[in-house]
């Protein structure tokens, strides 16, 4: 897989160029605690990198989900909407939030590698 990370604690899996998956990192879900609700973006809506694309609420707090790359939302994870705890139990797998058709694939290259993200979260 080709996974990169944003400073806002989202991950991007660009191994499928037709639909790049986006979710929150394990670090983010650890900080949030038990996720109880997710507000996912609308399919067909286009976002710029850095735009707020959704909200995740936990027993501790609510947090915006930022679009790590520019593109059009082509799919949302309805299973996550029905069972928000997937963001805790499998944040990098079944707990994905949405898929995006990239408008600028080069933006993925600007995101952090796993090693760089791990260093970033230790700071």
Report the C-alpha gap between 92 and 5 in whole angstroms. 11
Residue 55 has pLDDT above 60, yes or no: yes
User: What domains appear along the chain, each with residue ranges and CATH number?
Assistant: 3-115 (2.40.50.100)
pLDDT tens digits, one per residue of 23-52: 999 999 999 999 999 999 999 999 999 999
Q: Looking at the whole model, is its pTM more than 0.85?
A: yes
Q: Which of 9, 22, 34 is nearest to 121 (CA)?
A: 9
At 52, give phi and psi (nearest 5°): -75, 125
**What confidence tens digit (pLDDT) does each residue in 59-92 have?**
999 999 999 999 999 999 999 999 999 999 999 9
Comparing CA positions, the residue from 50, 62, 57, 44 lying closest to residue 98 is 44
pLDDT of 64: 97
19's enclosing H/E stretch is none
């Amino acid at each position: 897989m080709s996974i990169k990370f944003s400073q806002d604690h989202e991950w991007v899996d660009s191994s499928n160029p037709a639909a790049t998956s986006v979710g929150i990192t394990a670090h983010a879900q650890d900080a949030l605690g038990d996720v109880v609700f997710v507000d996912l973006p609308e399919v067909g809506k286009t976002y710029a990198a850095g735009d707020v694309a959704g909200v995740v609420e936990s027993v501790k707090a609510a947090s915006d989900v930022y679009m790590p790359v520019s593109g059009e939302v082509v799919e949302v994870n309805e299973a996550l909407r029905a069972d928000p705890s997937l963001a805790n139990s499998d944040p990098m797998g079944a707990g994905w939030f949405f898929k995006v058709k990239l408008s600028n694939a080069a933006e993925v290259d600007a995101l952090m590698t796993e090693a760089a993200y791990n260093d970033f979260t230790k700071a």
